[in-house]
Structure 1
Amino acid sequence: MSGTTKIFQYKNLTSLAQRLRSDVKDLHCVLLYAYNRTGKTRLSMEFKDQGKRKGEGAPDTLYFNAYTEDLFVWHNDLEGDTDRHLTINARSSFFSGLRELALDEAIAGYLARYADFDFDIDYEKWVVTFRKGDNDRIKISRGEEKIFIWCIFMAICERVIDRHPSYGWVKHLYIDDPISSLDDNNAIALACDLAALLRKAATRLGANGDRDPLRTVFSSHHALFFNIMCNELGRTKEGQEKVSTKRYFLHRPDSEGAFTLRATGDTPFFHHVAILAELRKCSEAGTLYTYHFNALRSILEKTASFFGHEDLRVCLAGLEDEALYNRALNLLSHGRYAITEPVEMVDDNKALFRRILDDVLVRFQFAVPELDPEAAP
């Protein structure tokens, strides 16, 4: 970020949320990058509460944050160990149209991209049960639970964009750190899906055909996720309307409660370079999983495209083990992998991955950053 960029200071969350509400009047999306413990979740709630105060108790913001996850409570059936399910807090306006909309198919469509379990929603008892193969009422992991809740939110957002009456009160979306517990590389798929959804929200039309965009505030401490969002929303794709955005670095210099906003056209790290940094870190630590080949292949495809070529083989041309590298990337980067249950590479594939990555880094001399938040601008 430029050192000459003006920094705006706010005494408390109230004035900061007012600034964001002012911004989204003229923009489609405001993106906030901030470290953990800055106050992002409390800011999202203040933004939501200001909408309720303005509407004399009527909400105008559909939000996703840590409180959203609290709307689901796990019942483990400690006595019988058979009736395991999630209980839904149906009193929340978050679920105001869930029964009428029959979102099961839409939720399942998203869930199939990220996980390999199924679910059933009982709208009479407001409980969710899960199954995998022949096993019913299984206990899913915390990561899988987060993914499921996120898929519900995405499905609801689709209906908001479609202007379903159950969610006619929604004027703003506020999304705070939706994938905080997931692996960095797996964040790519979710970020791309979210960016596509927000692009649809920004270009929504009203009942009479006039522009009626949904305004969004997105915040995250996750550098890679934030980068993908900025890149996907920031560029104008052929045949699509431009999405107007503003990016801020949100900071809290001390514990006195003051906040600063620094407007920037930069992102914390470029998307592909951030992935390379993560791959190098995993390679050095030995924590390599099968999906890392997918990530490396994606980087090489983007690099080839940058140089005007359609095939990633141009990135490997002339390397001593060119044929072996091509074969490995073709064979090892197309498997389906689960986000919440990654499969570790065998030792031979780890060694091969390191060789490919090291040779690529040497050839292109990427300036790979550190991903430690303390080193971030």
Structure 2
Amino acid sequence: MTNRPPSEPESSQRTALGFDEFIAILVAFTTIGAILFWSLSRRDSSWNFNTLLSPSPTPSSRAYPDKVLPSPTLKLEPNAADNFNSSPPAAVEPKTPSLPNNSATPSPELLPSAEVRPTQSPQPQIPTSSSFGFESSISSAALPLVTPAKPKSIIPPPIAFNDVPNNFWGRRFIDVLSSRSILKGFPDYSFRPNQPVNRAEFAAILQKAFNQELSKNAIAFQDVPTTFWANPAINQAISSGFLKGYPKKTFKPQQNISKVQVLVALASGLNLKTPTSANQILSIYKDAKDIPPYARGKIAAATASGLVVNYPNPEVLAPNKVATRGEVAAMIHQALVKQGKLKGISSENIVRSPNISPAPSRTPKEKPKVNLSAGGSSQ
């Protein structure tokens, strides 16, 4: 019996891929890849294959290799963006924004605050600013505008001194002057309203309150060194007529100032005229006999002008009593009211003389002029 070679296995039901078929498939994939590559690389192509690969409307990094554009939060239709052109960068002008006709028009809050105008032929627009996403995110959460009801005051609030209670008689005078930095407190947030005031301190207060021009002919007091802290204020108070020195070219800066000296200084610095009825004005004080003779005319002028503030009894002047910081604050306030720099406040401690006024500035021989052209009314 002759041995036969083993029979060949029967061919499978699946036929192996032929060479021609393999070549055809390879050519097909190569063609598709070339078409995709060509559509992505050409900037003026009207084909929109990019949206098939990426759902985000962010331009390709090949178009802007030197910029990294953030993905904007604005959602557009698939055919609204990613159309590139070869024209130069568009000029940006801060006007009303506009979008192409084929784009989905978002709400006004989501539009960037610029109108894009191309320098050549009009083409579909793309956001050229790298802050597009940042502006869109801010615009999407628009905040309401807040308009103040009234303009803010330029005057700061008064200082809340820990030793000046609300029921203190001179609280309102102190508040007004402290808010304008005319009077200041101490490092421990106290004002010490009952503490005496010396002549150097009073000169410094006058300098802050009235800000008079400094005279070039300053007096060199023997008891005021050139390095003394209040030397400029003393020179200003002397040159402006508020204060005077003592004999032998002394000023006595450390001497406590009395109430009558404060009122005489204010009446002298403000050039108040002595009333003709000085004695009648001074009669409202129960202690008028205690007023020094040299000061009677000045005290009467200060009283008629509303500068005198007496506590606790308005009819008791106590002229020779040492003036406290609270009393100086009240009288300085009233002097500024007299000048028209401050508004007056109501206080039961202000001495009023409504029926008596200072002497008029017109001389007795002067007669009122008659304006005939105005119908005979006097000027």
TM-score by length of 2: 0.23
Greater relative CO (CA pairs within 8 A, separation 6+) = 1
Q: TM-score, normalised by structure 1?
A: 0.23
> Which is strand-richer, 1 or 2?
1
Q: Which has the larger radius of gyration?
A: 2
Structure with the higher helix share, 1 or 2: 1
